Amino acid sequence: MTATLVAPLVPGKGERTRNRLLEIAIRRFAAEGYRRTSVSDVAREAGLTPAAVYAYFAGKEALFKAAVDADASALIDEAGPNVSSGNARAQFASRVAELLARIDDHPLARRVLAGQEPEVVGRLLDLPSLQTLTATFAEQLAKGQETGDVRRDIDPTVVATGMEAIVLCLLMGVVQAGVDPVSEMGTGVAEVLDAALRPS
């Protein structure tokens, strides 16, 4: 019996165009900000008309939101493979450290966390990338409960939402106030969470 080779999926032209628009938007919004970047700027750099951009994104705000989500998602994805394989509490601390170590490589996510886009930041809390991160936390907590590493009397979904808020606050502290992520503050956050999650 011979093995059947399956060709890898190649993104279609529409997906390639959308990804190219997001790459340009991430770079331009990060460098110039939401106000100074126009859909026309992004379209021109991509060799398209503004009308073509609107086929992919409903408007400038939708393009910005998609660009922030793409950059945040890339940050989260890059941090994932390097997370320690220890218990659930150690994995959370490791994931936070990995996110902090990579934030400077994601200029648009960093710009938003730095508070440089105050007009639109409130509308970014429902990003799919954040929902994915929260779901990952909930899954880790549930597994930790199964192994006896995490308290059984907590709701993993509710606590994961709180953990997302803590991560966002810590990332904001690092980029806005220059807090050293390995400082006493970072260590203190890890200790508080460990104490809150550890079975008695």
* Closest among 171, 186, 188, 191 to 76, alpha carbons compared: 171
What CA–CA distance (Å, rounded) separates 32 from 19? 20
Is 10 within the bounds of a domain?
no
Kindly indicate the confidence band of residue 58, based on its pLDDT and cuts at 50, 70 and 90.
Answer: very high
CATH number of the domain within which 78 lies:
1.10.357
Is 159 within the bounds of a domain?
yes
DSSP 42-95: HHHHHT--HHHHHTT-SSHHHHHHHHHHHHHHHHHHHHGGGS-SS-HHHHHHHH
Residues in the chain: 200
Backbone angles phi, psi at 88, to 5 degrees: -60, -40
Is 40 within the bounds of a domain?
no
Question: Residue holding tokens 């990338």?
Answer: 129
Domain of residue 183 covers 66-197
Kindly indicate the confidence band of residue 6, based on its pLDDT and cuts at 50, 70 and 90.
Answer: very low
At residue 180, the pLDDT reads 67
Is 5 within the bounds of a domain?
no
Candidate from 6-10, 129-133, 192-196 with smallest mean pLDDT: 6-10
Is 71 within the bounds of a domain?
yes
- The structural domain count of the chain equals 1
